[in-house]
A and B are shown apart, each in its own frame.
Chain A
């Protein structure tokens, strides 16, 4: 027996418009999301600038080379990057009307995000055990504020992914609403590109430049 197309079961109510037409011919929601992302660039730009100013001010606390576990963070980074791949595959699936595949990818993306967040929580716990916390030094304060805010963004993204998955399971996210998935995907990719920068600027470069000379 052939499967019933799910989009029919969740079709919009007659006369319901999902989006208003604009004079630009663009989606208002997408325009809003890009404007928000543009403003978020400034937000994270300011936090990264602050970190770079204070990275050398460790007081008596540990230096980046002494405290960071780069191999562990590399794995977290890889997982977050792959979650971006999951997100675009989810978008491609809903655009093609493959709702089951969409739900699988969206759930996989959320799980990868949660794994990243769990890794960050573990890292913070290890740091706390080594007396490296928010008030240890200007370096530690700027590190925790930057990575903490990024983690908060990841957590918000996971909630949105779970909301989409739930809506899809309940038949409230038909294929016609793929632009909603695209907008949430934009947010998720933004969180990913911020981490791409954090990984190099916050972890790799300071850990390399504050390490004791080899030999």
Chain B
């Protein structure tokens, strides 16, 4: 048996949609570079850096949801992945808090 019953039932996007996502990803990367270059011309980093982070999250989600098929796949796969992401963010938060706040609160 090559595929499970579940595999037979769920569908993936078509080639055209994959190419569209690929073009959007390329354009978003170009936007990131333009934003970065605009800092040299005096564009505010207080606006530009949040914009860079938003673009990064959008690119991340496009790849995860469409190329990795999490939008179409079983919810268990989604949970496994996003639990990993949540734990990574937790580690990041704990390390950051310990490093930056620790000295201030006497650690």
Interface residues of A (CB under 8 A from B): 12, 17-19, 21-22, 24-27, 30-31, 34-35, 37-42, 44-46, 48-50, 52-53, 70-71, 74, 77-78, 81-82, 84-85, 87-89, 91-92, 95, 175-179, 182, 185-186, 189-190, 192-193, 196-197, 199-201, 204-205, 207-209, 211, 214-215
Contact = CB atoms under 8 A, between A and B. Distances in A.
Contacts of A193: 60, 63-64
**Interface of B (DSSP majority class):** helix
A49 B2 contact: no
Contact of B6 (A26, A34, A52): A26
Interface residues of B, number: 55
A149 B37 CA distance: 28
B88 A44 contact: yes
19 contacts: A19-B4, A35-B80, A45-B91, A74-B33, A84-B67, A88-B67, A89-B19, A91-B12, A92-B12, A92-B18, A176-B3, A179-B3, A182-B69, A193-B60, A196-B59, A200-B56, A205-B52, A208-B49, A215-B42
Interface of B: 1-7, 12, 14-15, 18-19, 21-22, 25-26, 29, 32-33, 35-36, 39-42, 45, 48-49, 52-53, 55-56, 59-60, 63-64, 67-69, 74, 76-77, 80-81, 83-85, 87-89, 91-92, 95-96, 99
Contact of B1 (A19, A34, A77, A182): A19
A34 B77 contact: yes
Given A48-B92, A92-B12, A81 B25 contact: yes
Contact of B88 (A27, A45, A196): A45
- 10 interchain residue pairs of minimum CB distance: A45-B88, A38-B84, A176-B2, A41-B84, A85-B22, A200-B56, A34-B80, A25-B6, A49-B95, A41-B88
A114 to B, nearest CB: 19
A200 B52 contact: yes
B29 A77 contact: yes
A96 B49 CA distance: 42
Contacts of B99: 53
A46 B93 CA distance: 10
A23 to B, nearest CB: 11
Contacts of B81: 34, 37-38, 41
Given A42-B91, A92-B18, A200-B32, A26 B74 contact: yes
A196 B1 contact: no
A126 to B, nearest CB: 19
B2 A178 contact: yes
Contacts of A186: 68
A189 B67 contact: yes
A22 B40 contact: no
A115 to B, nearest CB: 15
B54 to A, nearest CB: 10
A196 B56 contact: yes
Contact of B5 (A25, A46, A49, A84): A25
